[in-house]
Structure 1
Amino acid sequence: MISTEYVVSEQPFTVRRTVKWGQCDPAGVVYTVVFAEYVISTAELFYGCLFGQGPQQAKDKYQFGTPTRGLTFDFRKSLRPDQQFDTEVRVGRIGTSTYQLLMHARDMEGDTVFTACLTPICIVRGQRESIPIPEYFKEKLKAHQTSDAP
C-alpha cells in the first residue's frame, strides 16, 4: 500500500504528500480549496508529533481546542496528480491565545509551491471562549519557533 502523506522529518517538521487524482480539476491541477486541507492535515500531524499521541485525544485530555482564526496563502506553482511535495512547518509569532504555523511547500526539485500561515486560537474545549495558550503546549511550540517570525 502506498501512503499519500507521511512525516519525513520531525526537526524541521516536514510532511511529504502525493497529490491524488481526485484532488484535481479536469485540467489536472489541484483545486484551490484542497490546499486548505493540506495545511490542516499537516497541522494535525504536527500536533501529533508535539503531543506524542493523537492530537484530538491530547486536546480532549487537556480540555482545549485550536480552531482556525486565520489562514493565508501565497501560491507559486500548480500541482498535478501523482506529484510529490514536502511541507515544512515552523512556528511563527506566539501570542497570548493565538500562534502562527508557517508552512513552506516545495516540490521534489526544491521549488516553492506555496507558503501558508495558519493562525489557530486556543479555546476552552466545546466552548467558543478563548483562553491563553496552555503553558505546556506553548513550550512545545517554542521548540519549533523560527527566529525570523513575523
Structure 2
Amino acid sequence: MISTEYVVRTQPFTIRRTVKWGDCDPAGVVYTVVFGEYVISAAELFYRHILGEGPQHAKDRHGFGTPTRALAFDFQSSLRPDDEFDIEVSVEEIRSRTYTLLMHGRTLAGATVFIARLTPICVVRGERRAIPVPPVLKQALLAYQGARSGAHHS
C-alpha cells in the first residue's frame, strides 16, 4: 500500500503528500478547496505529534474543540497529479483563545507552493463558547515552539 500522506520529520514537523488525480480539476491542477483539506489534515497530524495521541481523543478527554476561526493562503505555484510536496508546520503565535499555525507547502526541490495560516479558536467541546487555550494544548504548542527556536539557534 502506498500512502499519499505521511510524516517525514518531526523537527521541523513536516508532512509529505502526493497529489491524487481526484484532487485536481479538468485542467489538471489541484482545486483551490483541496488545499484547505491538505492544511487541516497536516494540523491533525501535528496535533497527534504534540499531544501524543489521536487529536480527537485528546480533545474529547480534555473537553475542548478547535474549529477554524481563520484560514488564509498565499498561493505561489500550482500542483498536478502525482506531484510530491512537503508541508512544514510551525507555531506562529499563541494568544488567549486562539493560536496560529503557519504552514509552508514546498516542492521536493524547495520551491514554495503556498503559505497558509490556520487560526483555530478553542471552544468547549459540544458548544460554540470560546475558552482560553487549554493548558494541555498550550504547553504542547509552547514546547514545540521552543524546540523549533532552539533548533534555529543551534
- TM-score range for the pair, normalised by the shorter chain length: over 0.9
Contact 1:12 1:144 in 2 (8 A): no
Which residue pairs with 1:40 in the alignment? 40
Provide the secondary structure at the position in 1 that maps to 2:2.
coil
Provide the secondary structure at the position in 2 that maps to 1:25.
coil
Segments of 4+ moved more than 3 angstroms: none
Unaligned segments of structure 1, at least 5 residues? none
Q: What amino acid is aligned across from residue 43 of structure 1 in structure 2?
A: A
Q: CA deviation at 1:143?
A: 2.2
TM value normalised by structure 1: 0.95
Which residue pairs with 1:18 in the alignment? 18
Unaligned segments of structure 2, at least 5 residues? 150-154
Contact 1:89 1:103 in 2 (8 A): yes
Contact 2:18 2:85 in 1 (8 A): yes
Q: What is the rounded CA distance, in whole Å, between the counterparts of 1:143 and 1:38 in structure 2?
A: 24
What are the superposed Cα offsets for residues 100-140 of structure 1, whole Å, 9 maximum, x if unpaired? 00000100110000000000000000001000011121111
Which residue pairs with 2:28 in the alignment? 28
Which residue pairs with 2:152 in the alignment? none
Which residue pairs with 1:82 in the alignment? 82
Q: What amino acid is aligned across from residue 122 of structure 2 in structure 1?
A: C
Which residue pairs with 2:121 in the alignment? 121
Q: What is the rounded CA distance, in whole Å, between the counterparts of 1:140 and 1:51 in structure 2?
A: 6
Which residue pairs with 1:136 in the alignment? 136
TM value normalised by structure 2: 0.93
Q: What is the rounded CA distance, in whole Å, between the counterparts of 2:77 and 2:112 in structure 1?
A: 7
Which residue pairs with 1:7 in the alignment? 7
Q: What is the rounded CA distance, in whole Å, between the counterparts of 1:51 and 1:61 in structure 2?
A: 12
Contact 1:20 1:82 in 2 (8 A): yes
Same amino acid, percent of matched pairs: 67
RMSD over equivalenced CA pairs, Å:
0.9
What are the superposed Cα offsets for residues 47-95 of structure 1, whole Å, 9 maximum, x if unpaired? 0111111110110000000000000000001000000000000001100
Q: What is the rounded CA distance, in whole Å, between the counterparts of 1:29 and 1:3 in structure 2?
A: 20
Contact 2:70 2:119 in 1 (8 A): yes
Q: CA deviation at 1:13?
A: 0.5
